[in-house]
Structure 1
Amino acid sequence: MSLIPGLDSKAHVLIAGASRGIGLALCTAMLAREDVAHVWAAARKASTSTELAGLAETYGDRLKRVDCDARDERALETLVSEVRAGSEHLHLVISALGILHQDGAKPEKGLAQVTLASLQASFTTNAFAPILLLKHLLPLLRKQPSTFAALSARVGSIGDNRLGGWYSYRASKAALNQLLHTASIELKRLNPASTVLAIHPGTTDTELSQPFQSKVPDGQLFEPAFSADRIIELVAAHGPADSGTFWAWDNKPIVW
């Protein structure tokens, strides 16, 4: 099965949030594939990441490490320049950007805990950064088959919200879903072979989930490598006809 539907050549791939967790696992999985030509690994400290350095030793020039804070549009402009130096087109972009309890964000239990700072931090990384990434990479996604996928979360579903809480995180992921759905409509006009997906990777053993892992039922806490493989399978399974949709790790659709 090809990496994305309709692709009959080796792929050029970019992973944002590539230095740890699911993003790092995605880089590892992509580089292990013979049908992937190059992987651009974008992260705030990509050039100093020990883990990415290890991948570079193994895979050489197939891995391009780029320091980029996706919340900074100047940094995104530099990222585009770096990619253009090696490719005229990206076939697959996956945004693994997201925070829950970092950079001032908080998983609030009730309204009394909601603050402007937490809302701003959550929205900036979880919603604004991925759509700005797509905005700046758009010229590289306008030809040939292309897929832009961003990691969302089931708790961002309004229809599935039965427990409440986590105001900032839930709302920022809901905003991300709307932004991605809206972008899918525009991209379909610009490139009928394009696909935009929101993906819930499941609860994964990463820094984001660590404070809450004791409450995860047995068998439902995934290793990053497992989550990465499931994301790759989803990307391969869903093409332009599914653009603008929201999928869980088990290939089941999630209500908005």
Structure 2
Amino acid sequence: MRALVVGASGGIGRAVADRLEGQGAAVTRLSRREDGLDLTDAPGLARLMGALEGVYDQILVTTGALELNGVPPEKSLRSLDPAVMAAQFALNATGPALVLQHSLRLLPKDRPARFAVLSARVGSIGDNALGGWYSYRAAKAALNQLIHTAAIEIARSHPQAVVVCLHPGTVQTPLTAKYAGSHPAVSPDQAADHLLAVLEGLTPADSGGFFDWQGKPVPW
């Protein structure tokens, strides 16, 4: 099996890539640290993705950020900043969608293929009872819609493909260190095991869905 991990220098991304290699997969890693990966740089992303050859049975996008440039999630409408909102959308929604756009030619059409992005439960509109975190929530909700919409189109050309959003739970990474609070957190290695097990258990009938680390559907 060949796998591509986008964002492989992050806590979850590195653990996912290591786990896949431990399972015998040939893994290609793309990261900011090693390759200059920047999901907000569309031409640069196109060059990186365009240099890849062959087909990949699994592609996982493990990028994302809760804070950008040291700006914490908003607690109220008074804190909304258009530039912060645009940056959140660029990294957490537009960027992964562009990765999927460039991945179409890399996914096999004649056998099972899996493409997954890391979303977040806070991007669920139906599960939002606390408010706050406007930009991050909205960006993840937009990501969910983009992936759901793309899955419908991709099913026509890749009938055995699974294209999904995954919620990893609270993971012990710099992303969540300041915000985990009393939520139980798992290590990146545990999160990788959970995510890969969920992804392996999904079928084309699940494509376009949003699932948590236990494999349970998350409401839109």
* Offset from partner CA, 1:46-65 (integer Å, 9 cap, x none): 2xxxxxxxxxxxxxxxxxxx
Q: Once the 2 structures are TM-superposed, how far is the Cα of residue 154 of structure 1 from its aligned partner?
A: 0.4
Name the residue aligned to 2:144. Answer: 177
Contact 2:50 2:102 in 1 (8 A): no
Name the residue aligned to 1:24. Answer: 14
SS in 2 for 1:210: coil
User: How far, CA to CA, are the matches of 2:150 and 2:46 in structure 1?
Assistant: 19
Name the residue aligned to 1:252. Answer: 216
- Segment drifting more, 136-145 vs 169-178: 136-145
Q: Once the 2 structures are TM-superposed, how far is the Cα of residue 120 of structure 1 from its aligned partner?
A: 1.0
Correspondent of 1:73 among 42, 62, 68 = 42
One-letter identity of the residue aligned with 2:20 = M
One-letter identity of the residue aligned with 2:33 = K
Name the residue aligned to 1:6. Answer: none
Name the residue aligned to 1:195. Answer: 162
Q: Once the 2 structures are TM-superposed, how far is the Cα of residue 15 of structure 1 from its aligned partner?
A: 0.7
User: How far, CA to CA, are the matches of 2:44 and 2:199 in structure 1?
Assistant: 27
Name the residue aligned to 1:58. Answer: none
Q: Once the 2 structures are TM-superposed, how far is the Cα of residue 73 of structure 1 from its aligned partner?
A: 2.4
Correspondent of 1:41 among 25, 29, 33 = 29
Contact 1:104 1:121 in 2 (8 A): no
- Spell out the pairing of 1:46-195 with structure 2 (5 A cutoff): 46=34, 66-84=35-53, 88-103=54-69, 105-143=71-109, 144-195=111-162
One-letter identity of the residue aligned with 1:152 = S
Give percent identity, aligned residues only. 42
Q: Once the 2 structures are TM-superposed, how far is the Cα of residue 146 of structure 1 from its aligned partner?
A: 1.1
One-letter identity of the residue aligned with 2:120 = A
Q: Once the 2 structures are TM-superposed, how far is the Cα of residue 104 of structure 1 from its aligned partner?
A: 5.7
One-letter identity of the residue aligned with 1:154 = R
One-letter identity of the residue aligned with 1:68 = L
Are residue 243 (structure 1) and residue 207 (structure 2) matched? yes
Q: Once superposed, what is the RMSD of the aligned Cα atoms?
A: 1.3
User: How far, CA to CA, are the matches of 2:164 and 2:45 in structure 1?
Assistant: 21
One-letter identity of the residue aligned with 1:131 = A
Contact 2:10 2:63 in 1 (8 A): no
User: How far, CA to CA, are the matches of 1:43 and 1:103 in structure 2?
Assistant: 19
Give the length in aligned residue pairs. 219
Q: Give the direction of change, closer, same or farther, for the CA distance of 1:105–1:131 in structure 2 (3 Å limit).
A: farther
- Segment drifting more, 69-78 vs 172-181: 69-78
SS in 1 for 2:52: helix
User: How far, CA to CA, are the matches of 1:196 and 1:116 in structure 2?
Assistant: 30
Structure 1 stretches (4+) deviating beyond 6 angstroms?
none
One-letter identity of the residue aligned with 1:139 = R
Normalised TM-score (structure 1):
0.82
One-letter identity of the residue aligned with 2:4 = L
User: Runs of 5+ in structure 2 lacking a partner?
Assistant: none
Contact 2:61 2:118 in 1 (8 A): yes
